[in-house]
Amino acid sequence: MAEARGRFAPTPSGELHIGNMRTALLAWLQIRKENGMFVLRIEDIDRQRSRRNYAETILRDMRWLGLDWDEGPDIGGPFAPYTQSERLERYEAALAGLEQKGWIYPCYCSRADIMAAASAPHGLESEGPRYPGTCRHLSQVERLDKGKSKTPSYRFAMPEDKSISFHDGVAGLQCYSSDSGGDFVVKRSDGMIGYQLAVVLDDAAMEITDVLRGSDLLDSTPRQLMLYEALSLKAPRFAHVPLLYGPDGKRLSKRHGSVTLSSIRNAGVQPERVIGILAYLSGLLDKAEPVKPGELIPHFQLQRIIREPVVVTTDLLMELSSYT
């Protein structure tokens, strides 16, 4: 069997908080258990949201937690570069191939046009409203005409009436219809490459066999699977872990107090304590007791990961904000 290769692929748009730290820990454990290779990739194609200093902070914070990687932006590796903003020509080449094969088409709609399309039902949760297909069947003449006043975005033409199913290592069997989210953007009109395309190309190029990430990306997976198919690339196995919620039932955020790694560290909390809490919240430990990441490797099993949304109690939040 091919060597297991996994990755943590954060967008450097903020500091690591306990939600994405937990994803990093679980992805790391999955691969370390298999004696595989763990890749760190910085997903900074969205230049407006990404900051170089956040990328540096993420690397530092992961090291502080005791997580290491075999390939990454700071140490290189056989599939370098490991920073998406340095891989743009690869994405452009793939786009050209998709265009040639008729998989993508120019779209002249503004966001307001899409929002206004009266019949648009809600799209996939993580992707905003469903694109109603307005520009999919424009004639060449119409395209030329619209192109005079507007730079288009490019959309991937999802196959019609296809059912897409896959087995998720945590969430179980998933079935989607190919048109649930509509055709999605692979290149924005300002030139930015879409997340779906970049992530698929990079995971394939870096020979990733196992993607473990947050369940907010579960419904992106059918789109990514269609891209793998169109690009004749082999898809990895997927496992989507439930997100963390605060005591009020809202998705965990700064509002809930000391949830970023720097605030936790500044409060004097030791990395082992953080790891213990994250492992407990994931179902890998019965008690939130201090532990080093390596000590958890024998305990790791995808089947043990809690499948329901995880609530971080006020007591645990208190533990993360003070040395006790």
Check if the beta carbon of residue 94 is closer than 8 Å to that of residue 201: yes
Give the distance from CA 242 to its chain's centroid: 13
C-beta closer to ligand GLU: residue 155 or 213: 213
**Would you state the structure tokens that stand for residue 272, as one six-digit string?**
């082992």
Of 6-14, 29-37, 46-54, 181-189, the segment contacting ligand GLU by CB under 6 A is 6-14
Interactions with ligand GLU, residue window 192-211 (CB under 6 A): 199
Check if the beta carbon of residue 308 is closer than 8 Å to that of residue 242: yes
d(CA 54, CA 42): 10
Coil, strand or helix: which one is 235? coil
Size of interface with ligand GLU, in residues (CB under 6 A): 7
C-beta closer to ligand GLU: residue 7 or 256: 7
Instruction: Name the residue among 68, 13, 41, 320 with its Cα closest to residue 206.
Output: 41
C-beta closer to ligand GLU: residue 109 or 201: 201
Coil, strand or helix: which one is 91? helix
Pairing type for strands 104-107 and 153-156 reads: antiparallel
C-beta closer to ligand GLU: residue 11 or 258: 11
Coil, strand or helix: which one is 136? coil
Q: Where are the alpha helices (DSSP H) in 104-171?
A: 111-116, 140-147
Pick from 217, 231, 297, 302 the residue near ligand GLU by CB under 6 A. 217
x/- binding map, residues 10-49, to ligand GLU, per CB under 6 A?
xx-------------------------------x------
Q: Write out 13-33 in H/E/C secondary structure.
A: CCCCEHHHHHHHHHHHHHHHH
x/- binding map, residues 241-270, to ligand GLU, per CB under 6 A?
------------------------------
C-beta closer to ligand GLU: residue 254 or 292: 254
x/- binding map, residues 42-81, to ligand GLU, per CB under 6 A?
-x--------------------------------------
**Residues of this chain that bind ligand GLU (CB under 6 A):** 9-11, 43, 199, 213, 217
